Chain A
């Protein structure tokens, strides 16, 4: 069985995909040298499988930016929004280092520290590199990465390579200045603000040059692209081809986030973001022989925790001041936790795959069954382990007779807080059910009576029978049940949304 999302697991060869490492194919990682595979296997942002187990954090030390993007509003200070470029507390490098050590000591699954804004990290070289330098000394067990719009990248590649930086993410939305002019109103270059196509042309040139220079230095490059319907959606296939050719090892196509209340150009002008389907089709089109990333949560520039969560509130500067951190001891504890996670991952890899068995059975029956989307509630660990009402997001998997593949995640509002806020429960619940449109089953550890009924009405079968099972195994088992029950012989009947 061949799985086709992004790959990451060095030991995982095509065939016999076992739970927890589904979503990777042997082929996609096998072209990478061992030392590079080693660099990404514990990185939640690069490895779909790793993101079930390991956490990341961003420190907001880089407020300045050297370009304007139409999806960004530089009045970035907001505690309630979750999107890139937004932070609640700007830190200086010393504060950032303190915060990283506090988080690393309290969340031992944290493997990665990134600097991602709220401006452009390389437009703040002193603050960014001071932070990296201190962390290299004080927290040597943490991987460092940085993301950039690329404008200042060529000038900073040499400095980047001196620090222990394994990964650089460049946001590349276009390789055509005509399209660039519709995304970037201006860049600041050689002491001037340069608008329109001319500015976009400079940015594109710098991004491509920076990408080539990083690859030449052996630094791993991921490319992020924002999908903007009607602006660059078709063009991103060309972007994907070009960056792959130049040696980027992973492409992450993300949906545009645009709401009028964000005050961004796209938000105010009514530019829409892509639908789940449009995003998925483009990601599939871009994938070809390149790794596509589909588990990105587009997190804030000060996010803390597993990708699906944000524990930033627990680590504000005033709380950190009171924490007494013994990093030496924390490092030992972290190593133990990591070893335990590795042991569990290894055991999963070696366990006979139930998913494979279920699907092989189905293939043998020779029955033609259509693919099905399923939503999964999980709080981490790669297993079905979350109550439907506690889920803040669902992971979406597609099951077919050939494989189970991870497609995306969808955020929902928490409707069950267990308190007296339940008055709004019904509307939030109905909204969540609409978010799951297109799915035919939802797998969770438990589910209440009311959502059960509403889900059924919406044509989505709730399923709580696979609690604590590995996600891919559970999805494959449910798929087989549906196939055996004759539910998948005909194209899906569309059920009108109830909400």
Chain B
């Protein structure tokens, strides 16, 4: 099983130096995780490192392809509040 980085990644480099397996690499349009190298930090750390420092909700998926940091979990903004704010901005 392996974590993966998807397109909402902002290329901030925070995860890359933390990976104990050197599975994360710079790529275009965004960083990626080498699934063959990723160990999900088993035996190394209590928490998977990339998902623990990533600032972007939804940018990292766990081994089950689930969102490691679901909407609202990092910013504290309730998802419905965010949607309402975005809808209001678009309506302007």
Contact = CB atoms under 8 A, between A and B. Distances in A.
Interface in A104-149: 119, 123-124, 126-127
A65 B88 CA distance: 30
B77 interface: yes
Contacts of B49: 191
A124 B13 contact: yes
A70 B76 contact: yes
A335 interface: no
Nearest to B57: A74
A189 to B, nearest CB: 10
Interface in B33-70: 45-47, 49, 52-53, 55-56
A124 B49 CA distance: 16
B77 A119 contact: no
A90 B85 CA distance: 28
Contact of A64 (B13, B46, B47, B82): B13
A261 interface: yes
Given A64-B13, A268-B82, A261 B75 contact: no
A70 B55 CA distance: 12
A66 B14 contact: yes
A269 B75 CA distance: 11
A186 interface: yes
Nearest to B18: A191
Given A188-B52, A268-B81, A68 B75 contact: yes
Contacts of A63: 11-14
B71 to A, nearest CB: 12
State the majority secondary structure of interface residues on B: loop
A355 to B, nearest CB: 46
A122 B12 CA distance: 14
A269 B77 contact: yes
A65 B14 contact: yes
A186 B69 CA distance: 13
A193 B42 CA distance: 17
B23 to A, nearest CB: 16
B85 A193 contact: no
Contact of A191 (B13, B14, B52, B82): B52
A75 interface: yes
Contacts of A193: 47, 52-53
A126 B16 CA distance: 13
A36 interface: no
B1 interface: no
B55 A260 contact: no
B85 A268 contact: yes
Interface string B75-92: 111000110010011000
Contacts of B11: 63, 90
A210 to B, nearest CB: 20
Interface in A64-97: 64-66, 68, 70, 74-77, 90
B74 A186 contact: yes
A418 B46 CA distance: 61
Given A185-B74, A185-B76, A192 B13 contact: no
Contacts of B89: 260-261
Nearest to B12: A63
B10 interface: yes
A74 B25 CA distance: 20
Contacts of A119: 12, 14
Given A68-B55, A193-B52, A261-B89, A77 B77 contact: no
A185 B89 CA distance: 25
Contacts of A75: 10, 56
B52 A185 contact: no
B12 A191 contact: no
Contacts of A264: 75
Contacts of A191: 18, 45-47, 49, 52
Given A185-B74, A268-B77, A268-B81, A192 B10 contact: no
A315 interface: no
Interface of B: 10-14, 17-18, 45-47, 49, 52-53, 55-56, 74-77, 81-82, 85, 88-89
Interface of A: 63-66, 68, 70, 74-77, 90, 119, 123-124, 126-127, 185-186, 188, 191-193, 260-261, 263-265, 267-269
Shortest Cβ-Cβ A-B pairs, 3 listed:
A64-B14, A74-B55, A63-B12
